[in-house]
Amino acid sequence: MRNKIALIGGGNIGGVLAEQIAYRELGDVVIFDVVEGLPQGKALDMAEGAPVVGADVRISGTNSYEGIAGANLVIVTAGLARKPGMSRDDLLATNLKIMKQVAEGVRDHAPDAYVIVVSNPLDAMVYTFKEVSGFPKNRVVGMAGVLDSTRLRSFVAWELDVSVEDVTALVLGGHGDTMVPLVRYCTVAGIPVDRLLSAEKINAIVERTKAAGGEVVALLKTGSAFVSPAVSAISMAESILKDKKRVLACACLCEGEYGVDGLYVGVPCVLGAAGVERIIEVELNAEEQKMFDASVEHVRTLVEQIQL
């Protein structure tokens, strides 16, 4: 029995998700979108390419939530993306309305699904999905930390001219300017990065990581990054679908962990067949704790604006 993966939102990220998930044969794919024809057209195009890559999966598009029935995994990218000059927080009012609709649709038509939320502002959107759907916290997780961590990993690898495979990194906290790149836990094949790069270089990489989303928005002008977010979400999806138990920085509901209670923030967690199987609490020094607490407060301020 193949997995059925429902993609709520068939835009830039949704399109890459559909193609990558289908062509990697992670499961059958159904794309849901409110724009007539968009999900159906993208699905038909990808389905017609499947023979070339030998992908034996069904790819379909729908404008009705009935089409996602039976999905065991849902990835949500529905919502507006940033344009130059916008912050992720500027998307709150519009995307909140959308997320409420999405959460109801998924609750009613795929009630047993594991859900990865991608839409921005991420920490507020995944919180909204959890609250409106009523799903248990292990089945609702947000994608941001994997993307922020892969950006940090890329910048370190490029600076040192080493394989991206050998750079590990953790970026915690909210998905925004207050994110917390944990440099102390960044290594190159186990070698702490501060043994290989100067403090000045590391600081420059940290600042570029925090601004990386905006850097792409400024270049594209018409939207935000979509390939790196898509493959970041797929690494989470794959860990759940294949019970890989990867340790990834994800937006999880903290209920006491890291001193946080009742908010979704980016923390290291184990992702497996039971979704968020546990949160890993790493030791933070005074400076890291201060940055983390400030990031959590920013998330709290955003969530307090949500009227459900």
Tokens encoding 88: 């992720």
User: In sequence order, what are the residues at sequence separation of 6 or more whose Cβ sits closer than 8 angstroms to the Cβ of residue 124?
Assistant: 92, 96, 299, 302, 303, 305, 306
Q: Does 20 bind ligand TXD (CB under 6 A)?
A: no
Backbone angles phi, psi at 135, to 5 degrees: -65, 150
Between 9 and 174, name the residue whose CB sits nearer to ligand TXD. 9
Backbone angles phi, psi at 96, to 5 degrees: -65, -45
Given candidates 6, 26, 43, 122, which one binds ligand TXD under the rule CB under 6 A? 122
DSSP-derived letter for residue 65 is G
CB of 141 to ligand TXD, least distance (A): 11
Q: Does 172 bind ligand TXD (CB under 6 A)?
A: no
Identified catalytic residue from 88, 130, 151, 175? 175
Q: Does 147 bind ligand TXD (CB under 6 A)?
A: yes
CB of 230 closer than 8 Å to CB of 19: no
CB of 307 to ligand TXD, least distance (A): 18
CB of 147 to ligand TXD, least distance (A): 4
Between 147 and 269, name the residue whose CB sits nearer to ligand TXD. 147
3-state secondary structure of 20: helix
CB of 63 to ligand TXD, least distance (A): 9
Q: Measuring CA to CA, which residue among 257, 13, 240, 7 is closest to residue 141?
A: 240
Quote the distance between the C-alpha of residue 253 and its chain's center.
14
Neighbours of 129 (CB within 10 A): 27
Strands 73-76 and 4-8: parallel
CB of 209 closer than 8 Å to CB of 171: yes
Between 81 and 193, name the residue whose CB sits nearer to ligand TXD. 81
Q: Is 175 a catalytic residue?
A: yes
Given candidates 43, 57, 74, 78, which one binds ligand TXD under the rule CB under 6 A? 78
CB of 286 to ligand TXD, least distance (A): 28
CB of 71 closer than 8 Å to CB of 8: no
CB of 300 to ligand TXD, least distance (A): 19
Q: Name the residue whose CB lies closest to ligand TXD.
A: 11
- If you compute the radius of gyration of the chain from its CA atoms, what whole number of angstroms results? 19
Strands 275-279 and 59-62: unpaired
Query: What part of residues 200-219 is at the interface with ligand TXD (CB under 6 A)?
Result: none
Given candidates 224, 252, 270, 272, which one binds ligand TXD under the rule CB under 6 A? 224
User: Which range touches ligand TXD (CB under 6 A), out of 191-199, 224-232, 274-282, 291-299?
Assistant: 224-232
CB of 22 closer than 8 Å to CB of 46: yes
In this structure, which amino acid lies at residue 174? G
Going residue by residue from 95 to 114, which x/- string records binding to ligand TXD, judged by CB under 6 A? x--x--xx------------
Q: Does 80 bind ligand TXD (CB under 6 A)?
A: yes
Catalytic residues: 175
Residues at the site binding ligand TXD, with contacts judged by CB under 6 A: 8-14, 33-35, 38, 77-82, 91, 95, 98, 101-102, 118-120, 122, 143-144, 147, 175, 223-226, 229
